[in-house]
Amino acid sequence: MRTRLYSIVSALAALVLASCTPASQQSPAEALLDRLTTLVEDGKIMYGHQDDYMYGHAWKLAEDATEYVLSDVKSVTDSYPAVFGTDLGGIEFCWDASLDKNPFKHIREAAIAHHERGGFVTFSWHLRNPLTGGDTWDVTSDQVVASILPGGEKHEYFMEWLANAADFMESIKTADGTPVPIIWRPWHEHTGSWFWWGQKLCTTEQYKALWKMTYDYMAVERGLDHLVWSYSPGSGGLTPERFEERYPGDDMVDMVGFDCYQYSDDAAYIAEMKNALEITCDFAKKHGKLAAVTETGYESIPNPKWWTETLYEAVKDYPVSYVLTWRNACDMEHHYYAPFPGQVSADDFKAFAGLDQMMFL
Ligand code: BMA
């Protein structure tokens, strides 16, 4: 009995201590989550842009650049996006540059520069197919996830890929050695079947085991405490059941979101966004997590009022931490999701950046 009382008292003491952990004892990931939570409580939504400092619609960062100041977003709004997103595809082979042709040294340095500017960093991973040797979209086999799980024929091989990704993320630290917190979003859009880890390509148990293996290696074995784990299904046909079906568990996820693109009219996009926002924010509230629109956009933004009348209309009533639009490819004429000077929605983007609720840097 005494022992039981003692353990209840010490559990309570631990709880009190945990809830007042001084900032200096927080991990980089906890510090990021705290900052984000405060911003959400203040009603702010951060704007993010994929590959913002790396290239724009009509420019590309020079190989030997050492400053990260060019940005299509900045050239229109005079502010940088609050969230800088990029992709680690290719790090599994320690390539010099990612699948979107960004030298990894630029990714590292831009992430540090953006963090020092007060911004947030997020990474996705369009890694290649470890079983077939094809790319991330090679869905010719439904045995890929099975093959990399413990006991699978590619397990050892794949653990090297995880090690290479972990090494790179571990190397992202400021000059004094402080790790830069990273919102890490592996195995995304898994409710669709266009990536080798997608819905029809593995079972629920295999998907969860894949997440756990990734988490156990990076967070537990390697002790990377600067990663904020972000879970993001696709928005298509999303229901609360589908959202939850492959959720790996509260102990391995810090943030929940979804990816949603506009392919037809504004009304259909707004409806799909609101459906996904409703599900995500409700789930986030129940599980004590932050919510985000982890990828969105309308390719080429043909609607001059898209920012204030479509995107803002969709998100304004939801407590989401950030909304990230996809990349402005410099080598594909129509593949851009943020305006550049002269683009038809540029003035409206400026108005969007000026809204009280929207946060840029
Ligand atoms: C896709 C496209 C591709 C790109 C991939 C990974 O949506 O933008 O061109 O390679 O994302 O960033």
**pLDDT number for residue 134:** 98
* Residue 219 token pair: 């967070």
- Site to probe by mutation for ligand 1, drawn from 54, 86, 101, 126 as the one with most ligand atoms within 8 Å of Cβ, is 126
Residue owning the nearest CA to atom 10 of ligand 1 = 100
For the chain, give the number of residues: 361
**pLDDT number for residue 23:** 60
The domain that contains 288 carries what CATH number?
3.20.20.80
**pLDDT number for residue 1:** 36
- pLDDT-derived band at 11 (thresholds 50, 70, 90) equals very low
pLDDT over threshold 50, residue 16: no
* Residue 152 token pair: 């699978």
Residue 21 within any structural domain of the chain: no
Find the mean pLDDT for residues 267-285: 98
Q: Which ligand 1 atom is nearest residue 332's CA? A: 9
Neighbours of 26 (CB within 10 A): 14
User: Per DSSP, which regions of the chain are E strands?
Assistant: 45-50, 55-56, 59-60, 83-87, 120-124, 182-185, 227-231, 255-261, 290-297, 322-325, 358-359
pLDDT, tens digit, 9 for 90 and up, residues 294-311 = 999 999 999 999 999 999
Q: Which ligand 1 atom is nearest residue 99's CA? A: 10
Residue 1 within any structural domain of the chain: no
Residue 7 within any structural domain of the chain: no
* Residue 224 token pair: 């990377």
pLDDT, tens digit, 9 for 90 and up, residues 203-245 = 999 999 999 999 999 999 999 999 999 999 999 999 999 999 9
**pLDDT number for residue 318:** 98
**pTM for this model (two decimals):** 0.93
Residue owning the nearest CA to atom 8 of ligand 1 = 327
Which residues, 6+ apart, have CB-to-CB distance to 327 below 8 Å?
A: 49, 50, 51, 100, 335, 336, 337
Q: What is the DSSP letter of 274?
A: H
- pLDDT-derived band at 62 (thresholds 50, 70, 90) equals very high
Mean of all residue pLDDT scores within the chain: 95
Q: Which residues line ligand 1 (CB under 6 A)?
A: 87, 99-100, 126, 327
* Distance between Cα 90 and ligand 1 center (Å): 13
pLDDT over threshold 60, residue 6: no
**pLDDT number for residue 25:** 87
Number of domains comprising the chain: 1
3-state secondary structure of 322: strand
pLDDT over threshold 80, residue 14: no
> What residue type is assigned to position 166 of the chain?
A
CB 315 within 8 A of CB 293: yes
pLDDT, tens digit, 9 for 90 and up, residues 126-162 = 999 999 999 999 999 999 999 999 999 999 999 999 9
- pLDDT-derived band at 21 (thresholds 50, 70, 90) equals low
Q: Which string of DSSP letters, residue by residue, matches 88-137?
A: -TTGGGT-SB-TTS-BHHHHHHHHHHHHHTT-EEEEE-----TTTS--TT
Residue 15 within any structural domain of the chain: no
Between CA 241 and CA 239 the distance in angstroms is 5
Between CA 312 and CA 266 the distance in angstroms is 12
**pLDDT number for residue 5:** 41
Between CA 203 and CA 174 the distance in angstroms is 40
Residue 3 within any structural domain of the chain: no
Residue owning the nearest CA to atom 6 of ligand 1 = 126
Which residues, 6+ apart, have CB-to-CB distance to 131 below 8 Å?
A: 141, 143, 144, 147, 148, 154, 196
* Distance between Cα 205 and ligand 1 center (Å): 28
Between CA 59 and CA 74 the distance in angstroms is 13
Which residues, 6+ apart, have CB-to-CB distance to 31 below 8 Å?
A: 23, 181
Q: How do beta strands 322-325 and 59-60 pair?
A: unpaired
Residue owning the nearest CA to atom 9 of ligand 1 = 100
- Please compute Rg for the chain using Cα positions: 20
**pLDDT number for residue 161:** 99
Q: How do beta strands 227-231 and 120-124 pair?
A: unpaired
Q: Which ligand 1 atom is nearest residue 100's CA? A: 10
Residue 20 within any structural domain of the chain: no
Task: Determine the distance from the C-alpha atom of residue 73 to the mean position of all C-alpha atoms in its chain, rounded to a whole number.
Answer: 19
Residue 229 within any structural domain of the chain: yes
Residue 78 within any structural domain of the chain: yes
> What residue type is assigned to position 201 of the chain?
L
Q: Which ligand 1 atom is nearest residue 327's CA? A: 8
Which residues, 6+ apart, have CB-to-CB distance to 353 below 8 Å?
A: 47, 77, 79, 360
Burial of 343 (0-12, 13-18, 19+ CB in 10 A): buried
pLDDT over threshold 60, residue 65: yes
User: Per DSSP, which regions of 4-109 are E strands?
Assistant: 45-50, 55-56, 59-60, 83-87
Q: 89: closest CA among 121, 63, 51?
A: 51
Instruction: Measure Cα distances from 70 to 66, 171, 203, 287 in Å.
Output: 11, 23, 43, 38
Max alpha carbon distance in the chain (Å)?
A: 75
Residue with tokens 């831009």: 110
Phi, psi of 127 (to 5 degrees): -80, 160
Residue with tokens 């005079």: 78
**pLDDT number for residue 264:** 96
Enclosing domain of residue 139: 28-359
> What residue type is assigned to position 216 of the chain?
D
